[in-house]
């Protein structure tokens, strides 16, 4: 599959690049995408929620009233869950939400997500670029030229470029990653993906069917 190559001014370069069909033009697997996104979100959960149970509350254990003869329900101490400030029944406890997912499923998920973006014309290939210094204005200009300003955008670079990353850091909805950091959640979450030409080799190397 061939796709046009643009520059950061938004103009066509007159060149095209060949996309690997096994990476960018497969039949998407929705369940693999679901599992990979679920794992990504689970890995980012802190799992530190905690509620005090009856045995952990700092209240007196004195029985509040006699067992019988009051005309009301029997009650124990203030730690009882029926009283305000009492223990919580089956409250949350610290836990690890992470779970294992096979590497082949994760690769299939990323290939599926990329294939969706290509099919829906939401992926643009641009010539490799860099900035001499971090400037948010430069990044805004690139977004305007590519007609994606105000949209959630994901820039995929071939090599680490701190100036490009710093230029996009203060822009809401804009994220910059290296090809080796590409994940399914970022692909699905972005309305537009801007892929640098020099990152395609790394993407193909990581995601190509082996």
Question: What are the beta bridge partners of residue 174?
Answer: 153
Instruction: Convert the pLDDT of each residue in 19-37 to its tens digit.
Output: 999 999 999 999 999 999 9
Strand 12-18's sheet: what is its strand order? 12-18, 2-6, 123-126, 192-196, 153-157, 174-178
pLDDT given at position 36 = 98
Q: What is the mean pLDDT of residues 36-61?
A: 94
- Is 40 domain-assigned? no
Taking residues 118-145, what's their average pLDDT?
Answer: 94
Residue 149 covered by a domain:
yes
Residue 97 lies in a domain: no
Residue 145 lies in a domain: yes
What's the mean per-residue pLDDT of the chain? 94
pLDDT digits (tens, 9 = 90+) for 139-193: 999 999 999 999 999 999 988 788 999 999 999 999 999 999 999 999 999 999 9
Q: In the chain, how many domains are there?
A: 1
pLDDT tens string 63-117: 999 999 999 999 999 999 999 999 999 999 999 999 999 999 999 999 999 999 9
Give the confidence band of 201 by pLDDT, cuts at 50, 70, 90.
Answer: very high
Indicate whether 125 belongs to any domain: yes
Q: For the chain, report the end-to-end CA distance as a whole number of angstroms.
A: 20
198 part of a folded domain: yes
Instruction: Check: CB of residue 111 under 8 Å from CB of residue 206.
Output: no
Query: Does residue 147 form part of some domain?
Result: yes
Beta-bridge partners for 116: none
CATH number of the domain residue 21 falls in: 3.40.1370.10
Domain hosting 19: range is 2-28+102-207
pLDDT at 209 over 80: no
**Residue 161 confidence (pLDDT):** 81
pLDDT (0 to 100) of residue 208:
83
């Amino acid at each position: 599959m061939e796709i046009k190559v643009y520059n950061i001014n938004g103009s066509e370069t007159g060149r095209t690049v060949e996309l690997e069909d096994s990476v960018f033009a497969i039949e998407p697997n929705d369940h693999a995408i679901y599992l990979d996104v679920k794992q990504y979100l689970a890995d980012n959960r802190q799992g530190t929620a905690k509620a005090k149970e009856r045995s952990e509350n700092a209240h007196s254990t004195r029985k509040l009233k006699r067992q019988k003869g009051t005309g009301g329900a029997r009650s124990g101490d203030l730690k009882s869950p029926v009283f305000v400030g009492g223990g919580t029944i089956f409250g949350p406890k610290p836990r690890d939400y992470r779970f294992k997912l096979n590497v082949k499923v994760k690769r299939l998920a990323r290939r599926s997500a990329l294939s969706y973006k290509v099919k829906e014309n939401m992926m643009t290939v641009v010539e490799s670029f860099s900035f001499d210094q971090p400037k948010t204005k430069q990044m805004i200009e690139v977004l305007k030229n590519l007609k994606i300003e105000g949209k959630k955008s994901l820039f995929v670079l071939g090599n680490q470029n701190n100036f490009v990353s710093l230029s996009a850091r203060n822009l809401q909805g804009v994220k910059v990653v290296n090809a080796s950091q590409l994940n399914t959640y970022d692909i699905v979450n972005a309305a537009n993906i801007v892929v640098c030409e020099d990152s395609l080799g790394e993407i193909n190397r990581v995601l190509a069917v082996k």
